Amino acid sequence: RKLRKIGQMKGPEEVGPAQGPSEAIQCLSPKPSLTFHSQLIFLNILEAIEPEVVNAGHDHAQPDSAAALLTSLNELGERQLVKVVKWAKGLP
């Protein structure tokens, strides 16, 4: 399908001989049409589905050894990754 669509589109040499390659690319590429209002709506959606803060749940009763801190950091990273993946799946 893509090849048919590309074949139907005019190439840069068919658009006009006076145009340079950058002008031909600009003619074929879509223009961004985000208005200020649509940007605000998009930002509100992103803020609404923003992932919650994940706490480490570090046990302060245990001594701060390198292994305990690394384990706590690793668990925090795993939980944060799960939250971010769930958040990304909720993007519009």
Predicted TM-score of the model (pTM): 0.43
Are residues 15 and 27 in contact, defined by beta-carbon separation less than 8 angstroms?
yes
Task: Read off the pLDDT of residues 61-78 as tens digits, 9 standing for 90 and up.
Answer: 878 888 888 888 898 899
pLDDT of residue 68: 84
User: In the structure, what pLDDT confidence band is assigned to residue 9 with cuts at 50, 70 and 90?
Assistant: low
pLDDT at 52 over 60: yes
CA distances from 65 to 73, 75, 77 (A): 12, 16, 18
Q: How confident is the model at residue 83 (pLDDT cuts 50, 70, 90)?
A: confident
